[in-house]
Amino acid sequence: MMGAPVALLQVRGLTAQFNRGDAASQVVKGISFDIGAGESVGFVGESGCGKSVTARALMRLAPEGSSLAWGGTVLFKGQDLLQVNERVMQDIRGRRIAMVFQDPMSSLNPVLTVGAQIEDVVRRHTGASASRARKRAVELLDLVGIRDAARRADDYPHQFSGGMRQRVLIAIAVSCQPDLLIADEPTTALDVTVQAQILRLLMRLRRELGMALMLITHDFGVIAGMVDRVHVMLDGRIVETGSVDALFANPQQAYTQALLAAVPRLDVAGKLA
């Protein structure tokens, strides 16, 4: 389209697979999508549809002992992430593209304080001094809603609840003001009441920091109100795309309909009887 700005992230024909010896993980079989600066895009699908693999392939994060087999292009601000060398990738991770994972209980290093785990990424990417990094860490903990941030920064992960650990992980992710935040099932492992809080937090941060958001989930209920656009994935491919309202109102694919039906709706009377 003439005059349209180049998207922040342009994925074309991405195929990806993580191999460990003989075994292969789920596969992405050729998907293409854009994410514009400041845009919020959702990826929905059942387990095994390839949405997480997509995210990890973007970040080139193969699980321990596996390697990534890929095809296609992933253009991030003009650079093909699949072609750059690992050193460049390390500079991008955490700084330009950050990720929040599913299980907050196991995602923090047990032997480092929460503050230290924010400071290390800040110092890594900005070269800040120890005291500067410390200040920043406390600011961030405050930003994500952790009370008594200065004191809590010296606490260890096991002293925090699941919801609070996820906040810490979000603080870590946004610490260097990335252009793109990938959230892979960020609320799946949390209590229902906490889920809403975390989602609201993500929304707020996105607005305040102007980040693009890639939200991955199996639950349509999670993305409602969170994203501008949704890609529905099935078996390694994108099968339907549209705005949230459009999809909710008029799902084209049977699969999408099934996903929507899976969301418990409190506003539809009589269904539960």
Partner 1 sequence: MRRLVLIRLAWMLPILLGVSVVAFVLMRALPGDFAQASAGTTELAPEALNIIRRDLGLDRPVWEQYLRWLAKLLKGDFGDSFTTHKPVLGELLPRLAVTAELTLIAGLMAMAMGASSGLASARWRGRTDWLVRGINGLFLAVPNFVVATLIVLLAGLYFPEVGIFNYTPFLTDPLGNLGSMLLPAFSLALAVSVTISENTRAAVLEVSSQDFVMVARAKGLRPSTILWQYLVRNALTPIITVTGLQLASLLGGSILIETIFTIPGMGQYLFDAVSGRNYPVVQAIVLVAATVVLLVNVLVDVAYARVDARVSYD
Task: Specify which residues 238 forms β-bridges with.
Answer: 233
CB of 52 to partner 1, least distance (A): 12
- Measured from the CB atom, the residue of 3 and 65 that comes closer to partner 1 is 65
- 156 vs 248, which CB is nearer to partner 1? 156
CB of 89 to partner 1, least distance (A): 8
Q: Residue 260 burial (CB < 10 Å; 0-12/13-18/19+)?
A: middle
> Would you say 221 and 44 are in contact if contact means Cβ atoms under 8 Å apart?
no
Q: How far is the CB of 134 from partner 1 (least distance, A)?
A: 16
What tokens appear for 155 in the block? 């606490």
Listed residue (181, 204, 36) closest to 94, CA to CA = 181
For the chain, how many residues are written? 273
Decide: 167 and 198 in contact? Cβ < 8 Å: yes
Token match 């690992």: residue? 86
Smallest separation, CB 258 to partner 1 (Å): 30
Pick between residue 111 and residue 273 the one whose CB is nearest to partner 1.
111
Per DSSP, the three-state class of 58 is: helix
Binding residues vs partner 1 (CB under 8 A): 59, 61, 63-65, 89-95, 98-99, 101, 103, 106-112, 120-121, 124-125, 156, 158, 169, 172
What residue has token string 């410390």?
A: 134
Say if residues 58 and 89 touch (Cβ distance below 8 Å).
no
Between 55 and 230, name the residue whose CB sits nearer to partner 1.
55
H or E stretch covering 57 = helix 51-59
CA distance 240 to 49: 13
Min dist. Cβ of residue 250 to partner 1 (A): 37
For residue 85, the minimal CB distance to partner 1 (Å) is 13
DSSP string, 163-215: HHHHHHHHHHHHTT--SEEEEESTTTTS-HHHHHHHHHHHHHHHHHHT-EEEE
Nearer to partner 1, 64 or 267 (CB): 64
> With contact defined as beta carbons under 8 Å apart, do 240 and 253 qualify?
yes
Q: With respect to partner 1, which residue has the nearer C-beta, 55 or 226?
A: 55
Q: Which is nearer to partner 1, 17 or 256 (CB)?
A: 17
Smallest gap from Cβ 242 to partner 1, in A, equals 29
